Structure 1
Protein backbone atom coordinates (compact mmCIF):
# COMPACT_ATOMS: atom_id res chain seq x y z
CA UNK A 1 0.00 0.00 0.00
CA UNK A 2 1.32 3.41 -0.93
CA UNK A 3 1.20 6.03 1.72
CA UNK A 4 -1.10 8.88 0.97
CA UNK A 5 0.82 12.05 0.34
CA UNK A 6 -0.27 14.77 2.68
CA UNK A 7 -0.52 18.15 1.02
CA UNK A 8 2.12 20.56 2.23
CA UNK A 9 0.86 23.48 4.21
CA UNK A 10 1.46 26.77 2.52
CA UNK A 11 3.72 29.02 4.49
CA UNK A 12 2.12 32.24 5.49
CA UNK A 13 3.81 35.03 3.58
CA UNK A 14 5.01 38.06 5.55
CA UNK A 15 3.18 41.34 5.09
CA UNK A 16 6.17 42.79 3.27
CA UNK A 17 8.27 40.55 1.02
CA UNK A 18 11.41 42.67 0.89
CA UNK A 19 13.74 42.18 3.88
CA UNK A 20 14.57 45.86 4.21
CA UNK A 21 10.93 46.91 4.16
CA UNK A 22 9.96 44.11 6.53
CA UNK A 23 12.68 45.14 9.00
CA UNK A 24 11.58 48.77 8.95
CA UNK A 25 7.94 47.72 9.34
CA UNK A 26 8.65 45.44 12.32
CA UNK A 27 10.77 48.07 14.09
CA UNK A 28 8.14 50.78 13.61
CA UNK A 29 5.34 48.42 14.62
CA UNK A 30 7.20 47.57 17.83
CA UNK A 31 7.63 51.28 18.63
CA UNK A 32 3.96 52.01 17.93
CA UNK A 33 2.88 49.04 20.05
CA UNK A 34 5.04 50.30 22.93
CA UNK A 35 3.44 53.75 22.70
CA UNK A 36 -0.01 52.13 22.52
CA UNK A 37 0.56 50.06 25.68
CA UNK A 38 1.94 53.05 27.54
CA UNK A 39 -1.05 55.17 26.50
CA UNK A 40 -3.47 52.41 27.55
CA UNK A 41 -1.87 52.22 31.01
CA UNK A 42 -2.31 55.97 31.32
CA UNK A 43 -5.91 55.64 30.12
CA UNK A 44 -5.13 58.02 27.28
CA UNK A 45 -7.65 56.55 24.87
CA UNK A 46 -7.19 59.25 22.23
CA UNK A 47 -3.54 58.21 21.89
CA UNK A 48 -4.58 54.55 21.89
CA UNK A 49 -6.89 55.25 18.96
CA UNK A 50 -4.13 57.13 17.13
CA UNK A 51 -1.73 54.21 17.61
CA UNK A 52 -4.34 51.76 16.37
CA UNK A 53 -4.96 53.93 13.32
CA UNK A 54 -1.21 54.08 12.67
CA UNK A 55 -0.92 50.28 12.77
CA UNK A 56 -3.74 50.00 10.23
CA UNK A 57 -2.20 52.63 7.95
CA UNK A 58 1.14 50.83 8.02
CA UNK A 59 -0.30 47.68 6.43
CA UNK A 60 -2.20 49.53 3.70
CA UNK A 61 0.73 49.72 1.23
CA UNK A 62 1.11 45.94 1.32
CA UNK A 63 -2.67 45.44 1.16
CA UNK A 64 -3.09 47.57 -1.96
CA UNK A 65 0.01 46.03 -3.51
CA UNK A 66 -1.60 42.58 -3.32
CA UNK A 67 -5.09 43.76 -4.29
CA UNK A 68 -3.96 45.78 -7.30
CA UNK A 69 -1.29 43.24 -8.24
CA UNK A 70 1.45 45.86 -8.31
CA UNK A 71 5.01 45.77 -7.06
CA UNK A 72 5.98 48.67 -4.81
CA UNK A 73 9.65 49.67 -4.94
CA UNK A 74 11.46 49.20 -1.62
CA UNK A 75 12.37 52.88 -1.38
CA UNK A 76 8.75 53.95 -1.82
CA UNK A 77 7.50 51.45 0.78
CA UNK A 78 10.07 52.54 3.36
CA UNK A 79 9.36 56.24 2.81
CA UNK A 80 5.60 55.67 3.18
CA UNK A 81 6.10 53.76 6.45
CA UNK A 82 8.44 56.42 7.84
CA UNK A 83 6.04 59.15 6.71
CA UNK A 84 3.12 57.56 8.58
CA UNK A 85 5.22 57.15 11.73
CA UNK A 86 6.59 60.70 11.50
CA UNK A 87 3.14 62.22 10.97
CA UNK A 88 1.08 60.29 13.53
CA UNK A 89 3.43 59.13 16.31
CA UNK A 90 6.13 61.80 16.23
CA UNK A 91 4.03 64.67 14.90
CA UNK A 92 0.74 64.21 16.76
CA UNK A 93 1.53 62.19 19.90
CA UNK A 94 5.02 63.56 20.58
CA UNK A 95 4.18 67.12 19.50
CA UNK A 96 6.91 67.38 16.86
CA UNK A 97 4.60 69.72 14.94
CA UNK A 98 5.14 72.24 17.75
CA UNK A 99 8.56 71.25 19.08
CA UNK A 100 10.47 70.81 15.81
CA UNK A 101 10.62 73.83 13.48
CA UNK A 102 9.22 73.17 9.98
CA UNK A 103 8.25 69.57 10.83
CA UNK A 104 4.81 70.13 9.28
CA UNK A 105 6.36 71.82 6.25
CA UNK A 106 8.73 68.92 5.68
CA UNK A 107 5.92 66.36 5.83
CA UNK A 108 3.66 68.34 3.50
CA UNK A 109 6.50 68.62 0.97
CA UNK A 110 7.06 64.88 1.18
CA UNK A 111 3.31 64.31 0.93
CA UNK A 112 3.19 66.26 -2.31
CA UNK A 113 6.03 64.15 -3.70
CA UNK A 114 4.50 60.83 -2.61
CA UNK A 115 0.99 61.65 -3.80
CA UNK A 116 2.38 62.66 -7.18
CA UNK A 117 4.18 59.31 -7.31
CA UNK A 118 0.97 57.45 -6.46
CA UNK A 119 -1.09 59.46 -8.96
CA UNK A 120 1.54 58.92 -11.62
CA UNK A 121 1.60 55.18 -10.94
CA UNK A 122 -2.20 54.85 -11.11
CA UNK A 123 -2.42 56.55 -14.49
CA UNK A 124 0.68 54.76 -15.78
CA UNK A 125 -0.80 51.39 -14.81
CA UNK A 126 -3.93 52.24 -16.82
CA UNK A 127 -1.71 53.42 -19.65
CA UNK A 128 0.07 50.07 -19.77
CA UNK A 129 -3.09 47.96 -19.37
CA UNK A 130 -4.54 46.16 -22.40
CA UNK A 131 -8.06 46.68 -21.05
CA UNK A 132 -8.00 50.41 -21.80
CA UNK A 133 -7.59 51.99 -25.19
CA UNK A 134 -6.20 55.37 -24.23
CA UNK A 135 -2.48 56.14 -24.13
CA UNK A 136 -1.28 59.34 -22.49
CA UNK A 137 1.91 61.11 -23.47
CA UNK A 138 4.65 61.66 -20.85
CA UNK A 139 3.58 65.30 -20.48
CA UNK A 140 -0.05 64.37 -19.77
CA UNK A 141 1.05 61.67 -17.34
CA UNK A 142 3.13 64.22 -15.45
CA UNK A 143 0.20 66.67 -15.46
CA UNK A 144 -2.17 63.98 -14.15
CA UNK A 145 0.27 63.13 -11.36
CA UNK A 146 0.58 66.81 -10.43
CA UNK A 147 -3.20 67.33 -10.39
CA UNK A 148 -3.73 64.19 -8.31
CA UNK A 149 -1.21 65.35 -5.72
CA UNK A 150 -2.69 68.85 -5.48
CA UNK A 151 -6.22 67.44 -5.18
CA UNK A 152 -5.15 65.27 -2.26
CA UNK A 153 -3.47 68.29 -0.67
CA UNK A 154 -6.60 70.43 -1.01
CA UNK A 155 -8.85 67.67 0.34
CA UNK A 156 -6.54 67.32 3.34
CA UNK A 157 -6.82 71.05 4.06
CA UNK A 158 -10.62 70.67 3.86
CA UNK A 159 -10.33 67.94 6.47
CA UNK A 160 -8.16 70.12 8.72
CA UNK A 161 -10.58 73.03 8.42
CA UNK A 162 -13.56 70.80 9.23
CA UNK A 163 -11.74 69.35 12.22
CA UNK A 164 -10.97 72.82 13.54
CA UNK A 165 -14.47 74.21 13.02
CA UNK A 166 -16.55 71.19 14.01
CA UNK A 167 -14.38 69.24 16.45
CA UNK A 168 -12.47 72.14 17.99
CA UNK A 169 -9.06 70.82 16.93
CA UNK A 170 -6.12 73.01 15.95
CA UNK A 171 -4.85 71.28 12.82
CA UNK A 172 -4.41 74.50 10.87
CA UNK A 173 -1.68 75.96 13.05
CA UNK A 174 -1.68 79.63 14.01
CA UNK A 175 0.97 82.15 12.99
CA UNK A 176 1.96 85.37 14.76
CA UNK A 177 2.19 88.33 12.35
CA UNK A 178 2.91 92.02 12.92
CA UNK A 179 0.72 93.50 10.19
CA UNK A 180 -2.61 92.78 8.54
CA UNK A 181 -4.41 94.20 5.49
CA UNK A 182 -8.20 94.14 5.51
CA UNK A 183 -11.27 95.86 4.05
CA UNK A 184 -13.29 94.94 7.14
CA UNK A 185 -11.94 98.02 8.96
CA UNK A 186 -12.84 100.40 6.12
CA UNK A 187 -15.42 102.72 7.68
CA UNK A 188 -16.52 104.02 4.28
CA UNK A 189 -17.47 100.48 3.20
CA UNK A 190 -15.97 101.21 -0.22
CA UNK A 191 -13.78 98.11 -0.38
CA UNK A 192 -10.59 99.99 0.44
CA UNK A 193 -7.77 98.05 2.06
CA UNK A 194 -6.83 99.25 5.54
CA UNK A 195 -3.28 98.46 6.67
CA UNK A 196 -2.67 97.81 10.35
CA UNK A 197 1.07 97.69 11.01
CA UNK A 198 3.46 97.32 13.94
CA UNK A 199 1.07 95.10 15.91
CA UNK A 200 2.76 94.26 19.22
CA UNK A 201 0.10 92.19 20.98
CA UNK A 202 -3.47 90.90 21.02
CA UNK A 203 -5.84 91.90 23.82
CA UNK A 204 -8.96 89.78 24.35
CA UNK A 205 -12.02 91.60 25.72
CA UNK A 206 -14.36 89.10 27.39
CA UNK A 207 -18.15 89.44 27.58
CA UNK A 208 -17.92 90.58 31.21
CA UNK A 209 -15.67 93.47 30.22
CA UNK A 210 -12.45 91.96 31.55
CA UNK A 211 -9.39 92.13 29.33
CA UNK A 212 -6.49 89.77 28.80
CA UNK A 213 -3.25 90.50 26.95
CA UNK A 214 -1.89 87.36 25.29
CA UNK A 215 1.71 88.53 25.11
CA UNK A 216 2.22 87.05 21.65
CA UNK A 217 4.32 89.84 20.23
CA UNK A 218 1.89 90.31 17.34
CA UNK A 219 -1.48 89.40 15.83
CA UNK A 220 -2.65 85.77 15.85
CA UNK A 221 -3.45 84.55 12.34
CA UNK A 222 -5.69 81.48 12.78
CA UNK A 223 -4.62 79.09 10.09
CA UNK A 224 -4.59 80.99 6.78
CA UNK A 225 -0.81 81.31 6.50
CA UNK A 226 -0.29 77.71 7.62
CA UNK A 227 -2.77 76.44 5.03
CA UNK A 228 -1.22 78.39 2.17
CA UNK A 229 2.28 77.33 3.17
CA UNK A 230 1.17 73.68 3.25
CA UNK A 231 -0.32 73.96 -0.24
CA UNK A 232 2.78 75.70 -1.58
CA UNK A 233 5.19 73.03 -0.36
CA UNK A 234 2.76 70.35 -1.56
CA UNK A 235 2.93 72.09 -4.94
CA UNK A 236 6.73 72.00 -4.80
CA UNK A 237 6.85 68.28 -4.00
CA UNK A 238 4.33 67.52 -6.75
CA UNK A 239 6.29 69.51 -9.34
CA UNK A 240 9.56 67.78 -8.45
CA UNK A 241 8.12 64.31 -8.89
CA UNK A 242 6.14 65.22 -12.00
CA UNK A 243 9.37 66.31 -13.68
CA UNK A 244 11.09 63.08 -12.60
CA UNK A 245 8.13 61.01 -13.83
CA UNK A 246 8.05 62.83 -17.16
CA UNK A 247 11.63 61.88 -17.99
CA UNK A 248 11.09 58.36 -16.63
CA UNK A 249 8.28 57.69 -19.13
CA UNK A 250 9.99 59.56 -21.94
CA UNK A 251 13.06 57.34 -21.53
CA UNK A 252 10.79 54.27 -21.30
CA UNK A 253 11.59 53.33 -17.70
CA UNK A 254 15.36 53.63 -17.95
CA UNK A 255 15.74 56.10 -15.09
CA UNK A 256 17.05 54.31 -12.00
CA UNK A 257 16.14 57.14 -9.62
CA UNK A 258 12.49 57.44 -10.69
CA UNK A 259 12.11 53.65 -10.71
CA UNK A 260 12.60 53.68 -6.92
CA UNK A 261 9.29 55.52 -6.51
CA UNK A 262 7.03 54.18 -9.28
CA UNK A 263 5.05 50.92 -8.73
CA UNK A 264 4.97 48.39 -11.55
CA UNK A 265 2.51 45.69 -12.56
CA UNK A 266 3.55 42.27 -11.30
CA UNK A 267 4.38 39.92 -14.14
CA UNK A 268 2.74 36.57 -13.41
CA UNK A 269 4.51 33.49 -14.66
CA UNK A 270 2.38 31.38 -16.97
CA UNK A 271 1.83 27.81 -15.87
CA UNK A 272 3.54 25.26 -18.04
CA UNK A 273 1.18 23.00 -19.91
Structure 2
Protein backbone atom coordinates (compact mmCIF):
# COMPACT_ATOMS: atom_id res chain seq x y z
CA UNK A 1 0.00 0.00 0.00
CA UNK A 2 1.42 3.38 -1.03
CA UNK A 3 2.06 5.77 1.84
CA UNK A 4 0.07 8.99 1.62
CA UNK A 5 1.94 12.28 1.37
CA UNK A 6 1.88 15.03 3.98
CA UNK A 7 -0.42 17.17 1.81
CA UNK A 8 -2.82 14.23 1.38
CA UNK A 9 -2.97 13.69 5.13
CA UNK A 10 -3.61 17.40 5.72
CA UNK A 11 -6.33 17.35 3.08
CA UNK A 12 -8.08 14.33 4.60
CA UNK A 13 -8.01 15.84 8.10
CA UNK A 14 -9.39 19.15 6.86
CA UNK A 15 -12.13 17.50 4.77
CA UNK A 16 -13.18 15.48 7.81
CA UNK A 17 -13.33 18.70 9.85
CA UNK A 18 -15.36 20.42 7.10
CA UNK A 19 -17.89 17.61 6.85
CA UNK A 20 -18.35 17.29 10.63
CA UNK A 21 -18.69 21.04 11.24
CA UNK A 22 -21.06 21.62 8.33
CA UNK A 23 -23.25 18.59 9.08
CA UNK A 24 -23.55 19.64 12.74
CA UNK A 25 -24.35 23.18 11.64
CA UNK A 26 -26.92 21.86 9.17
CA UNK A 27 -28.59 19.77 11.87
CA UNK A 28 -28.90 22.73 14.23
CA UNK A 29 -30.22 24.93 11.43
CA UNK A 30 -32.87 22.39 10.39
CA UNK A 31 -33.88 22.09 14.05
CA UNK A 32 -34.37 25.87 14.20
CA UNK A 33 -36.36 25.74 10.95
CA UNK A 34 -38.69 23.06 12.30
CA UNK A 35 -39.10 24.31 15.86
CA UNK A 36 -38.52 28.04 15.52
CA UNK A 37 -41.07 30.79 15.08
CA UNK A 38 -42.81 31.18 11.74
CA UNK A 39 -41.01 34.47 11.10
CA UNK A 40 -37.59 32.79 11.39
CA UNK A 41 -38.36 29.58 9.49
CA UNK A 42 -37.77 31.02 6.01
CA UNK A 43 -34.37 32.41 6.96
CA UNK A 44 -33.41 29.12 8.64
CA UNK A 45 -34.32 27.03 5.59
CA UNK A 46 -32.38 29.40 3.33
CA UNK A 47 -29.38 29.11 5.66
CA UNK A 48 -29.68 25.31 5.53
CA UNK A 49 -29.69 25.46 1.73
CA UNK A 50 -26.50 27.57 1.74
CA UNK A 51 -24.79 25.05 4.03
CA UNK A 52 -25.76 22.14 1.76
CA UNK A 53 -24.52 24.00 -1.32
CA UNK A 54 -21.23 24.79 0.41
CA UNK A 55 -20.76 21.14 1.36
CA UNK A 56 -21.54 20.01 -2.19
CA UNK A 57 -19.08 22.51 -3.70
CA UNK A 58 -16.31 21.32 -1.36
CA UNK A 59 -16.86 17.60 -2.02
CA UNK A 60 -17.84 17.53 -5.70
CA UNK A 61 -14.24 17.67 -7.05
CA UNK A 62 -13.40 14.53 -5.04
CA UNK A 63 -16.50 12.76 -6.37
CA UNK A 64 -15.80 13.76 -9.98
CA UNK A 65 -12.15 12.71 -9.71
CA UNK A 66 -13.16 9.32 -8.32
CA UNK A 67 -15.79 8.77 -11.01
CA UNK A 68 -13.41 9.71 -13.84
CA UNK A 69 -10.41 7.99 -12.19
CA UNK A 70 -8.34 11.18 -12.22
CA UNK A 71 -5.57 12.08 -9.78
CA UNK A 72 -6.66 15.18 -7.88
CA UNK A 73 -3.63 17.21 -6.73
CA UNK A 74 -4.00 17.27 -2.92
CA UNK A 75 -2.33 20.65 -2.32
CA UNK A 76 -4.51 22.30 -4.95
CA UNK A 77 -7.64 20.66 -3.56
CA UNK A 78 -6.69 21.72 -0.02
CA UNK A 79 -6.39 25.36 -1.14
CA UNK A 80 -9.77 25.04 -2.88
CA UNK A 81 -11.48 23.51 0.16
CA UNK A 82 -10.03 26.19 2.46
CA UNK A 83 -11.24 28.92 0.12
CA UNK A 84 -14.78 27.54 -0.18
CA UNK A 85 -15.03 26.93 3.57
CA UNK A 86 -13.86 30.47 4.30
CA UNK A 87 -15.94 32.22 1.65
CA UNK A 88 -19.17 30.24 1.24
CA UNK A 89 -19.56 28.71 4.71
CA UNK A 90 -17.92 31.12 7.14
CA UNK A 91 -18.11 34.21 4.94
CA UNK A 92 -21.64 33.97 3.54
CA UNK A 93 -23.48 31.71 5.98
CA UNK A 94 -22.00 33.12 9.19
CA UNK A 95 -21.20 36.62 7.91
CA UNK A 96 -17.43 36.48 8.49
CA UNK A 97 -17.07 39.08 5.75
CA UNK A 98 -17.86 41.61 8.48
CA UNK A 99 -14.58 40.59 10.18
CA UNK A 100 -11.90 43.16 9.25
CA UNK A 101 -9.67 41.97 6.38
CA UNK A 102 -11.48 38.61 6.07
CA UNK A 103 -12.06 39.32 2.38
CA UNK A 104 -8.40 40.26 1.88
CA UNK A 105 -7.30 37.02 3.55
CA UNK A 106 -9.44 35.07 1.10
CA UNK A 107 -7.87 36.97 -1.79
CA UNK A 108 -4.43 35.98 -0.47
CA UNK A 109 -5.56 32.36 -0.42
CA UNK A 110 -7.12 32.61 -3.88
CA UNK A 111 -3.81 33.96 -5.22
CA UNK A 112 -2.07 30.79 -4.02
CA UNK A 113 -4.93 28.62 -5.30
CA UNK A 114 -4.79 30.18 -8.76
CA UNK A 115 -0.99 29.91 -8.77
CA UNK A 116 -1.35 26.18 -8.15
CA UNK A 117 -3.98 25.89 -10.86
CA UNK A 118 -1.55 27.65 -13.21
CA UNK A 119 0.82 24.72 -12.69
CA UNK A 120 -2.01 22.30 -13.53
CA UNK A 121 -2.72 24.16 -16.77
CA UNK A 122 1.02 24.30 -17.47
CA UNK A 123 1.29 20.52 -17.20
CA UNK A 124 -1.71 20.01 -19.49
CA UNK A 125 -0.51 22.38 -22.23
CA UNK A 126 3.29 22.05 -22.26
CA UNK A 127 5.06 18.81 -23.29
CA UNK A 128 6.93 17.13 -20.45
CA UNK A 129 10.30 17.25 -22.21
CA UNK A 130 9.88 21.01 -22.73
CA UNK A 131 8.98 21.58 -19.06
CA UNK A 132 12.35 20.17 -18.01
CA UNK A 133 14.12 22.91 -20.00
CA UNK A 134 12.18 25.84 -18.50
CA UNK A 135 13.76 27.64 -15.55
CA UNK A 136 12.05 27.55 -12.13
CA UNK A 137 12.11 31.37 -12.07
CA UNK A 138 10.07 31.60 -15.28
CA UNK A 139 7.60 28.98 -14.04
CA UNK A 140 7.13 30.93 -10.81
CA UNK A 141 6.60 34.23 -12.61
CA UNK A 142 4.14 32.56 -14.98
CA UNK A 143 2.07 31.37 -12.01
CA UNK A 144 2.01 34.92 -10.58
CA UNK A 145 0.93 36.38 -13.93
CA UNK A 146 -1.79 33.74 -14.32
CA UNK A 147 -3.17 34.33 -10.81
CA UNK A 148 -3.18 38.13 -11.11
CA UNK A 149 -4.85 37.91 -14.53
CA UNK A 150 -7.63 35.78 -13.01
CA UNK A 151 -7.92 38.33 -10.20
CA UNK A 152 -8.38 41.10 -12.78
CA UNK A 153 -11.10 39.07 -14.50
CA UNK A 154 -12.87 38.75 -11.13
CA UNK A 155 -12.75 42.52 -10.67
CA UNK A 156 -14.24 42.88 -14.18
CA UNK A 157 -17.08 40.64 -12.99
CA UNK A 158 -17.63 42.73 -9.85
CA UNK A 159 -17.55 45.96 -11.87
CA UNK A 160 -20.16 44.56 -14.27
CA UNK A 161 -22.42 43.50 -11.38
CA UNK A 162 -22.08 46.95 -9.81
CA UNK A 163 -23.41 48.42 -13.06
CA UNK A 164 -26.73 46.78 -12.11
CA UNK A 165 -26.96 48.43 -8.71
CA UNK A 166 -24.78 46.12 -6.60
CA UNK A 167 -21.86 47.20 -4.43
CA UNK A 168 -19.36 44.36 -4.79
CA UNK A 169 -16.42 46.74 -5.23
CA UNK A 170 -17.47 48.74 -2.16
CA UNK A 171 -17.53 51.98 -4.11
CA UNK A 172 -20.51 53.17 -2.06
CA UNK A 173 -20.79 53.76 1.67
CA UNK A 174 -24.12 54.37 3.40
CA UNK A 175 -25.72 54.64 -0.04
CA UNK A 176 -23.37 57.37 -1.23
CA UNK A 177 -20.67 56.88 -3.90
CA UNK A 178 -17.12 57.33 -2.63
CA UNK A 179 -14.89 59.81 -4.44
CA UNK A 180 -11.31 59.60 -5.71
CA UNK A 181 -8.84 57.25 -4.04
CA UNK A 182 -11.42 56.05 -1.50
CA UNK A 183 -13.50 54.53 -4.30
CA UNK A 184 -10.50 52.45 -5.43
CA UNK A 185 -9.40 51.07 -2.06
CA UNK A 186 -11.41 47.83 -2.12
CA UNK A 187 -10.56 46.91 -5.71
CA UNK A 188 -6.87 47.74 -5.43
CA UNK A 189 -6.66 46.03 -2.04
CA UNK A 190 -8.11 42.86 -3.59
CA UNK A 191 -5.61 42.96 -6.45
CA UNK A 192 -2.68 43.56 -4.10
CA UNK A 193 -3.83 40.60 -1.98
CA UNK A 194 -4.13 38.40 -5.10
CA UNK A 195 -0.61 39.42 -6.13
CA UNK A 196 0.95 38.87 -2.69
CA UNK A 197 -0.70 35.45 -2.29
CA UNK A 198 0.45 34.39 -5.75
CA UNK A 199 3.96 35.77 -5.15
CA UNK A 200 4.37 33.93 -1.84
CA UNK A 201 3.25 30.72 -3.53
CA UNK A 202 5.67 31.36 -6.41
CA UNK A 203 8.59 31.83 -3.99
CA UNK A 204 7.80 28.50 -2.33
CA UNK A 205 7.43 26.89 -5.77
CA UNK A 206 10.77 28.31 -6.92
CA UNK A 207 12.60 26.92 -3.88
CA UNK A 208 10.94 23.53 -4.28
CA UNK A 209 11.69 23.36 -8.00
CA UNK A 210 15.34 24.23 -7.40
CA UNK A 211 15.57 21.14 -5.20
CA UNK A 212 13.28 18.81 -7.13
CA UNK A 213 11.85 19.46 -10.61
CA UNK A 214 9.34 16.64 -10.13
CA UNK A 215 7.59 18.72 -7.43
CA UNK A 216 5.75 20.51 -10.24
CA UNK A 217 4.09 17.24 -11.24
CA UNK A 218 2.28 17.10 -7.90
CA UNK A 219 -0.07 19.76 -9.36
CA UNK A 220 -0.81 17.87 -12.58
CA UNK A 221 -4.16 16.21 -13.17
CA UNK A 222 -3.63 12.75 -14.61
CA UNK A 223 -5.40 9.48 -15.20
CA UNK A 224 -5.01 6.86 -12.48
CA UNK A 225 -3.53 3.74 -14.01
CA UNK A 226 -5.37 0.57 -13.12
CA UNK A 227 -3.16 -2.24 -11.82
TM-score (norm 2): 0.70
Kindly report the root-mean-square deviation, in angstroms, between the aligned alpha carbons of the 2 structures: 3.7
Q: What CA distance in whole angstroms lies between the structure 1 residues aligned with 2:92 and 2:54?
A: 11
Tell whether the 8 Å contact from 2:119 to 2:219 is kept in structure 1 after alignment. Answer: no
Q: What CA distance in whole angstroms lies between the structure 1 residues aligned with 2:29 and 2:158?
A: 24
Q: What CA distance in whole angstroms lies between the structure 2 residues aligned with 1:38 and 1:156?
A: 37
Q: What CA distance in whole angstroms lies between the structure 2 residues aligned with 1:169 and 1:267?
A: 42
Superposed displacement of residue 96, structure 1: 1.7
Tell whether the 8 Å contact from 2:18 to 2:85 is kept in structure 1 after alignment. Answer: no
Equivalent of residue 209 in structure 2, options 241, 245, 249: 249
| Other-structure match for 1:199 | none
1:151 and 1:56, CA in 2 relative to 1: closer, same or farther beyond 3 A? farther
Q: What CA distance in whole angstroms lies between the structure 2 residues aligned with 1:141 and 1:229?
A: 25
- Is the strand fraction higher in 1 or 2? 1
Superposed displacement of residue 62, structure 1: 1.5
| Other-structure match for 1:232 | 192
| Other-structure match for 2:17 | 24
- Is the helix fraction higher in 1 or 2? 2
| Other-structure match for 2:169 | 172
User: Mean Cα displacement is larger for which, 80-89 or 18-27?
Assistant: 18-27
1:20 and 1:138, CA in 2 relative to 1: closer, same or farther beyond 3 A? same
| Other-structure match for 2:91 | 91
Superposed displacement of residue 236, structure 1: 0.6
* Rg (Cα) greater in structure: 1
Q: What CA distance in whole angstroms lies between the structure 2 residues aligned with 1:43 and 1:235?
A: 40
Number of equivalenced pairs: 207
Q: What CA distance in whole angstroms lies between the structure 2 residues aligned with 1:162 and 1:35?
A: 37
Higher relative contact order (CA 8 A, sep 6+): 2
| Other-structure match for 1:33 | 26
Tell whether the 8 Å contact from 1:72 to 1:263 is kept in structure 2 after alignment. Answer: yes
Unpaired segments of 5 or more residues in structure 2?
A: 1-7, 35-40
What are the within-5 Å matches in structure 2 for residues 126-165 of structure 1? 126-127=125-126, 129=128, 134-135=130-131, 136-165=134-163
Q: Deviations over 1:36-75 (max 9, x none)?
A: 63686621365455334312321243146444722423x5
TM-score (norm 1): 0.60
1:43 and 1:236, CA in 2 relative to 1: closer, same or farther beyond 3 A? same
Q: Deviations over 1:2-47 (max 9, x none)?
A: xxxxxxxxxxxxxx99742441242244145347636866213654
